[in-house]
Structure 1
Amino acid sequence: MKKFHPLLATLLLAGFTTLSLAHGDDPKTHRAAAVIKEQKEWGIAGDARSVTRTVTLTMGDNMRFTPDKLDFKQGETVRFVIRNKGKLLHELVIGTKKELDEHAALMVKFPAMEHDEPYMAHVGAGKRGDIIWTFNRAGEFDFACLIAGHYQAGMVGKISVAAASR
């Protein structure tokens, strides 16, 4: 029986991890990774061909999003175009208040923590990021920049998803 070499395992793992990217990276300099669709309380990753609406958000070093209140209908697939007008790295993370509070606390403890999910976009200064998200559940949700200090400074917004009419 052949032994599995630990170095080979490490190299394979390193190769697979380089396939995942932060949303907002320059599309000319990276390969796209498959998005893992996981149902969340606030929806599920969407497909570009299913986009029914595009919303542009700006964020800046004043620690604010514009707009900071968004309304959708259950079932809408939205392309968020996120523009960072500031000189600092910012991000947009969609979730529930509870999830964002917990994640923000972790970011304060571990500011260099890497994370990449389809409901997040990390956007460098002067850059643009995108999220495609399907709001398949009605409710009140939130979005925020969870970079240490940004959330605490009020870099947050609200999302309202109205139930689909029958």
Structure 2
Amino acid sequence: MKASFIALSLALAVGSVWSHGKEPHGKPDAPVRKEQKAWGIAGDAKAAKRTIEVGMTDSMRFNPDRIQVKLGETVRFVVRNSGKVMHEFVIGTKKELDEHAAMMAKFPDMEHDEPYMAHVEPGKAGEIVWTFNRAGDFDFACLIAGHYQAGMVGRIQVLK
């Protein structure tokens, strides 16, 4: 009973805070929250020396699906959705993406707005500016229910 109460409480909290509607996520004038993650930290647009365009399609694929960056590099990702359904571009570790995708499958109306995420409506583009201050292999994915499971994933290699 206690476990089911905790699960229900979590579901209600998540459902009330996170929703995947068509409204834009976040406020355009709001300051970006800079929180160190295993895969880096939100970057300053002025520091981005390189722009990487990433396409998203309804075939549940990213193009490119493999990206290399240098340790310390700040990159502007421009993600374009050429499909007819909403897609997103979320950077993270495989473990965190797996966990978030499982949560999205249970609660498909979750809203999440982090500086390492871009939710992109059909025919639109989104942007992320990210500083890769940790070396290693990281992932990106579309975590909309069913998309991740269909293989909408990619890899970012941060080279020393």
Q: How many residues align?
A: 137
1:31-65: CA deviations, max 9, x gaps? Answer: 42110100000000000110011000000100000
CA distance in structure 1 between the partners assigned to 2:28 and 2:134 by the alignment: 31
Is there any run of 5+ residues in structure 1 with no aligned partner, and where? 1-20, 24-29
Is there any run of 5+ residues in structure 2 with no aligned partner, and where? 1-23
Q: Tell me, what secondary structure is at the counterpart of 1:101?
A: helix
- Tell me the residue number matched to 1:95: 92
1:90-119: CA deviations, max 9, x gaps? Answer: 000000000000000000000001000000
Q: Tell me, what secondary structure is at the counterpart of 2:119?
A: strand
Q: TM-score, normalised by structure 1?
A: 0.81
CA distance in structure 1 between the partners assigned to 2:67 and 2:154 by the alignment: 8
Q: TM-score, normalised by structure 2?
A: 0.84
Identity %: 69
Match for 1:152: what amino acid? Q
- Tell me the residue number matched to 2:18: none
Q: For the pair shown, which has the larger CA radius of gyration, 1 or 2?
A: 1
- Tell me the residue number matched to 1:4: none
Match for 2:90: what amino acid? V
Does residue 146 of structure 2 align to residue 149 of structure 1? Answer: yes
- Tell me the residue number matched to 2:120: 123
Match for 1:32: what amino acid? D
Does residue 130 of structure 2 align to residue 133 of structure 1? Answer: yes
Q: Give 1:1-166 correspondences, 5 Å limit.
A: 22=25, 31-163=28-160
Alpha carbon RMSD of aligned pairs, Å? 1.0
CA distance in structure 2 between the partners assigned to 1:151 and 1:85 by the alignment: 17
CA distance in structure 1 between the partners assigned to 2:89 and 2:46 by the alignment: 22
Match for 2:25: what amino acid? A
CA distance in structure 1 between the partners assigned to 2:59 and 2:69 by the alignment: 26
Q: How far did residue 149 of structure 1 move?
A: 0.1
Match for 2:140: what amino acid? F
Match for 2:30: what amino acid? A
The ranges of structure 1 where at least 4 consecutive aligned residues each deviate by more than 4 angstroms after the TM superposition are: none
CA distance in structure 2 between the partners assigned to 1:84 and 1:152 by the alignment: 18
CA distance in structure 1 between the partners assigned to 2:28 and 2:38 by the alignment: 29
